[in-house]
């Protein structure tokens, strides 16, 4: 009798077609649906901010550079806001992430020998938006991992206020810039138990920036089937520079929000 090694192939394909979606449904923390999370963010910044110096010349032909840079040190003292929304299918997911921050801190003038005795306070005010689409690579009883790609858009005003020294009346210099980076990253979710769950997003952006990257880690306590309190920490680094503008800094700090699942 002739052997037919492929006679069970249709049955095997049918079995896999049934089994794979069932396995996807069993991944905790990846229930298909929509989640939205508004956050409050206690943000600080560290790095360098540069603005156009055209409004800073007190006279006397000091020969100021076209751009004056200010160095700021990290202080968690300003409130910002974030919003995170995610749709999840069986394997695919898409999310929108927005950050608003208005962070101002005392700084040191990089060209302090040009403006001796002048105090400065520098800040960043604006929004960062990110849109991405991802695919879940695997998931099990404890957690899941996905890769995603998308774009991050920055719209940021850099501002520096000067007082004293050669500027006794004070002066303000500012510059606004918008730019976009392509982003690739990973999302990892971990189910600690029926009540507690962790989530980590990390990605790298390149394009108009020299480099940008972020890590956003949260842990959520679920108090019922639709709601959870989420707390965590976000670190966002960016490096962008033109002749009149510089933002080579990190925005970071703890956040707390309410996660609502539909």
Taking only the tens place, the pLDDT of each residue in 49-105 is 888 776 665 554 555 667 778 888 766 566 789 999 999 998 999 999 999 988 766
Half-sphere exposure of 241 (CA within 13 A, CB side): 12
> What is the b/e burial string over 197-225, where b = at least 16 CB atoms within 10 angstroms of the residue's CB?
bbbbbebebeebbeebbbbbbbbbebeee
The mean pLDDT value for 118-146 works out to: 86
> Of 110 and 77, which is predicted with more confidence?
77
In the chain, which ranges are E strands? Answer: 33-52, 67-72, 78-88, 92-109, 119-139, 143-164, 167-191, 196-207, 211-222, 227-241, 246-261
As a whole-number percent, the residues of the chain with pLDDT over 90 amount to 42
- Place 1 in a pLDDT band, splitting at 50, 70 and 90: very low
Q: What is the pLDDT of residues 179-191, one digit of tens each?
A: 999 999 999 988 8
Structural domains of the chain in order of their starting residue, each with its CATH number: 9-261 (2.40.128.90)
Is the confidence at residue 24, as pLDDT, over 60?
Answer: no
Identify the three-state secondary structure at position 141: coil
Do strands 67-72 and 196-207 pair parallel, antiparallel, or not at all (unpaired)? unpaired
Q: What is the pLDDT of residue 18?
A: 33
Is the confidence at residue 13, as pLDDT, over 50?
Answer: no
Is the confidence at residue 196, as pLDDT, over 80?
Answer: yes
Both tokens of 48, joined, read 């360098």
> Do residues 170 and 161 make contact, with C-beta atoms less than 8 angstroms apart?
yes
> Of 12 and 135, which is predicted with more confidence?
135
């Amino acid at each position: 009798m002739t052997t037919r090694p492929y006679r069970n192939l249709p049955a095997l394909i049918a079995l896999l077609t049934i089994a794979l979606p069932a396995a996807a449904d069993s991944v905790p923390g990846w229930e298909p649906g929509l989640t939205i999370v508004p956050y409050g963010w206690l943000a600080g910044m560290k790095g360098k901010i540069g603005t156009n110096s055209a409004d800073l010349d007190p006279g006397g032909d000091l020969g100021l550079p076209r751009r004056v840079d200010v160095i700021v040190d990290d202080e968690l003292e300003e409130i910002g806001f974030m919003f995170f929304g995610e749709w999840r299918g069986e394997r695919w997911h898409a999310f929108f992430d927005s950050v608003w921050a208005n962070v101002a801190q005392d700084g040191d003038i990089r060209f302090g020998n040009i403006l001796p005795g002048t105090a400065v306070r520098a800040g960043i005010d604006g929004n960062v938006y990110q849109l991405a689409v991802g695919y879940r690579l695997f998931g099990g009883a404890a957690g899941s991992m996905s890769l995603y790609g998308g774009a991050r858009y920055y719209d940021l005003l850099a501002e520096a206020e000067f007082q004293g020294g050669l500027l006794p009346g004070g002066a303000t210099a500012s510059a606004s810039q918008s730019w976009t980076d392509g982003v690739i990253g990973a999302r990892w979710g971990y189910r600690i138990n029926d009540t507690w769950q962790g989530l980590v997003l990390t990605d790298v952006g390149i394009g108009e920036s020299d480099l940008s990257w972020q890590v956003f880690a949260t842990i959520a306590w679920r108090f019922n089937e639709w709601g959870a309190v989420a707390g965590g920490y976000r670190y966002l680094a960016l490096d962008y520079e033109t002749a009149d503008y510089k933002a080579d800094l990190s925005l970071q700090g703890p956040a707390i929000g309410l996660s609502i699942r539909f």
